[in-house]
Structure 1
């Protein structure tokens, strides 16, 4: 594991490598999910919006997601250096200093919120501002180091991008937007706790109260299974309110049943232990699972 370099080299503004490190601060893999779910919210919303305006607004939402990532890394630099999953990030390796991450995150936050307000509407800008603030102040600063429910409550910030996409077009909140939010909100715990099972050593080392550390492996497996079951009524909501048709309902239920079976197989492993491959299988499938749920939203609207 790479150790923290407290005496980071000074960074030249003309060094092109700084731009790659700044991009890494924005958590590109997380941003890709933000871009996709925001685009689905935008494309399925009733109303007309030009292609250029759509791309412009999604760009500012992406900047907002990057701002949240940068501010998260700024605050958690001390924890990141302790975990194998995060020790190679720009701050633990000394490629950037904490002040760079803070300034970058603040600038991106301001630009993204003001840009979305100018090119879209006040409601979208306010939801984006709430998303960034919630991720930084509620999840990162308040919850993460204090409670094993950090990922449950904190998951609200990750569930808002499709809602922002919806408000860009409609300038309103609705049950349809709520259904987007609830799907990601209830998906997040099982997804992240599966990861935390096989990264439990990292969290113990960093003294982060993730569920496997505070409540044990058996309790974590049970919670993963329960949250997988909750996806069934959650995915029924868009159909109940008339937002989607039978194709979406049947297809997503099929995907969910398989997800539940994977989580059940993990649950049935030896008490107070887990199968590494089964935990990785739940985590890997969960990404595929959420992606195809949102693809099915698009397919339902097209056909």
Structure 2
């Protein structure tokens, strides 16, 4: 039954996404320009690292290529948010003008229906940039990869991706009570800049905050340690991203379902 349900939703997603692609390909210049813009944004993000490491040889014990590895890991982990959940940014307009009510009228999951309407193609350029950076940093660091480490990398990335996705969903869910969640979403989205750097560069208060309260340290820093160190030398927290991701997504899904039950349209 579970497999049949997954196949059912997969087929629907392909149909919805194919229609979205047809619409977007009518504006190819917009796609090209936005993809270039995404690449430039990620390149500019590396610039502070280059400036810092022109003055120092290490940052809290991390070399330039180790920081680049963490940075690239974060870009890959954040790509699903960009690709599959970008419609989060449009939620406030649907809530204000009352059009969100249409998502209740189909016999499918509301979150799936809403999020599947937008596939942000330019996120593919972020994914490619992150993968290229990860490979380049790995080569410079002399990291060796085998089937076990690659599978572990994919599992870690999946868990890491769920963390930021979950935080954004919970931020969006506030809109069902405060009507316009744009500023809450924008505030949470800013944390994507913090996840690109080691948690250890912060003081003890923020280390605790970003580990146990707002666990963005598990998006890139902690799981990266599995590959920057040997599996036996890595801290226990390095193995926790999948668990944290699943738990946080479960909370986000519960929050979303509770929130949509409180929605009654514009009332007009």
Scaled by the length of structure 1, what TM-score is found? Answer: 0.25
Scaled by the length of structure 2, what TM-score is found? Answer: 0.27
**Relative contact order, higher structure (CA 8 A, sep 6+):** 2
